[in-house]
Amino acid sequence: MTYELAGMTYDELASLLATRRVVALVPVGSVEPHGPHLPLSTDTAISVTCALRAAERLSSEGVSAVVAPSVSYGVTDYASGFAGAVGVPADVLTALLRAIASSLYETGISHVCFINNHLEPAHDAAVRAATTCFPTGSASVACPLTRRWGRTLSDEFKRGECHAGRYETSLVLAAGLPVRASFEALPSLSLSLSAAIRDGKTTFSEIGMDRAYTGAPSEATRDEGYALFEKLVTMVVTEVREGLAELNALSEAT
């Protein structure tokens, strides 16, 4: 079956909504540089792949989910100065996501989960702000930037050396997307984004990421990417299930 909302007819969606509660997974990403080896769409592609796999797992567990078209533009202030950093202000992103969720609710969707793999703090805050005006349990955010999920991922991710490094390169390989062969020759860089952000650095250039990557992309493998996707899918499924549990509790209380 198709899980992609954009590939359904309105009759097909209406039939699905008429028989059960349906969750919409909305992939969120960015257009920004990811080293000399990964596409500008890396964050969005990871979110889309994660959403499709999560929809399949949810379906196998009896939860109906559709994957909405992705939101590919985000806050990309850290990548400023590099070709390919095409961003939007935080308030614009929040307003857009809030409007998308509102429209999904109007069409009959019960729960909206924004799946975000662009880890710039201002971007993550903008995504989360989009959910604050909706009733309890109706919206969630699945993002590995939170400690709850980040601690389940690779050591490189935990060190904050994961922008276009081994972590993201492995995921892109596992998603079946093109990776430039140059990744195998790229030197490792021990530059922690998370530490640099805490220290007040505001751009990749200030951090020393002259080629818009950090970490060890040459160590990436497709198998590691598969394992990482399993963890990211668990993150999405758990956030959705917890949201639905809150919805159920609210409906029982009323």
What is the tens place of the pLDDT at every residue in 89-147?
A: 999 999 999 999 999 999 999 999 999 999 999 999 999 999 999 999 999 999 999 99
User: Distances in Å between the alpha carbon of 1 and those of 4, 64, 65?
Assistant: 9, 11, 11
pLDDT tens-digit series, residues 24-37:
999 999 999 999 99
User: What residues are paired with 140 via a beta bridge?
Assistant: 113
Instruction: Report if pTM > 0.85.
Output: yes
Q: Which residues, 6+ apart, have CB-to-CB distance to 56 below 8 Å?
A: 3
CATH 3.30.750.24, applies to 5-253: no
With pLDDT > 70 as the criterion, what percentage of the chain qualifies?
A: 99
What is the reported pLDDT for 251?
75
Domain edges within the chain: 5-253
What is the reported pLDDT for 84?
97
Which is more confidently placed, 251 or 64?
Answer: 64
How many residues make up the chain in this entry?
A: 254
What is the reported pLDDT for 253?
77
How far apart CA 149 and CA 231 sit, in angstroms, is 8
Asked whether the predicted pLDDT for residue 10 surpasses 80, the reply is yes
Average pLDDT, the chain: 96
What is the reported pLDDT for 7?
96
With pLDDT > 90 as the criterion, what percentage of the chain qualifies?
A: 94
Cα separation of the two ends of the chain: 35
Average pLDDT over residues 213-231: 98
What is the reported pLDDT for 15?
95
- Give the pair of three-digit tokens for residue 13: 């969606």
Asked whether the predicted pLDDT for residue 198 surpasses 70, the reply is yes
pLDDT tens-digit series, residues 141-172:
999 999 999 999 999 999 999 999 999 999 99
What is the reported pLDDT for 250?
79
Asked whether the predicted pLDDT for residue 248 surpasses 90, the reply is no
How far apart CA 173 and CA 41 sit, in angstroms, is 13
DSSP string, 197-250: HHTT--SHHHHT-TTS--B-GGG--HHHHHHHHHHHHHHHHHHHHHHHHHHHHH
Q: Closest Cα partner for 153 from 231, 95, 77?
A: 231
Q: Residue 1 — very low, low, confident or very high, per pLDDT cuts 50/70/90?
A: low
